[in-house]
Amino acid sequence: MEKQNGGFCGDNLRILIAVKPESLSRVISYLIGNVSGIAILSCVNDARQVVRHAERILPHLIIVNDRAIGPDAPGTIEALKNASPGSKVVLTFWAASLFSDFPQCNADARIDEASLTKQLAPVLLKLCTPRRQAVSQAINRQEYQ
């Protein structure tokens, strides 16, 4: 199967989530899963699984955290970008102080997990510019219902 370059197909923004613990995965799924135009394709919890899934499903956005991908975050993110070249990668940390531990990390965005509820939607909008208006309208409708 020939890989597509992560372009937006159909009406949905395809998302792969790889975070630990499972409760955080549920929070992220809740924050974005009910938004029109977003499809969470898979939730996994380790580095090998996320790379295999990314190569197979070619998501537009991959959300990972330091606990799921382990101490080799830069290597795992590089593998993700090779497996699914069009994907944007968001790396979350349980504490903002850990950002400095991964300065060479090639993630498209980094978020402190304590700020996920405030930062996830704006980061998603910024990274997904081609669908920005549609996703923004869907998020705004969700917030004001």
pLDDT 10s digit of each residue in the chain, 145 long? 223 334 444 557 889 999 999 888 898 988 887 777 788 888 888 888 899 999 999 999 999 988 888 888 888 999 999 999 989 999 988 766 555 665 667 889 888 888 888 888 888 878 876 554 555 555 555 554 4
pTM score, two decimals?
0.78
pLDDT for the residue 43: 84
Residue ranges and CATH numbers for the domains of the chain are 13-138 (3.40.50.2300)
**72 three-state secondary structure:** coil
Cβ-proximal residues to 13 (8 Å cutoff; 6+ apart), any chain? 37, 38, 39, 60, 61, 124, 128, 131, 135
